[in-house]
Amino acid sequence: MPKEPKIKQLDPLAERMSKTGMKGGAAKPKLSKEGKAALKQATKDELRFSKEVTRAGRRGDFGSPMMSKAAAKELKTGAKESRLDMDRGSLAIASNFGKNKLTKEMLKGRDEARKYLKKKKVEYRKQAKFFQKRGYNNGGLIKGFPKLAKRGF
């Protein structure tokens, strides 16, 4: 059994955790290769819509600019998620007619990307709700008062 190199730990909590056998830190789950490919394709398919929504968000069409950006992010991720969901059904029909062969990995990757986007959408929705509670949901550009425009009035 090879000996692990001794690392001097300054934090007493880290030292106790390593004694109990805990190693490493918290990590975000990563998408698989197929999931990344599906996400990239969905982004490519929704590019025009994403640009329009981003532009509207920067303009402040959905309220104050802070609120608008959060709302725009939610709309963009929702569109990508629905694109992946719609594609799943149409691809299954097309594969029955022999146009393209679907593998379990492809379908698994699409589903994984869809779930990832769903989590992101919920995160952006929470962010928008937070701005709404703080009163940043209505507002816009007020001439000479950029701080008020950023926060809402």
Per-residue model confidence as pLDDT tens digits over 83-116? 888 876 666 665 556 556 666 677 888 888 888 9
CA-to-CA separations, 137 to 42, 57, 126, in angstroms, rounded: 29, 12, 13
> What pLDDT is attached to residue 153?
47
pLDDT digits (tens, 9 = 90+) for 126-142: 888 887 777 766 655 55
Q: What's the distance, CA 59 to chain centroid?
A: 22
Q: Label residue 68 by pLDDT band (50, 70, 90).
A: confident
* CA separation for the pair 55, 142 (Å, rounded): 19
> What pLDDT is attached to residue 128?
83
Sign of CA dihedral 107, 113, 116, 118: negative
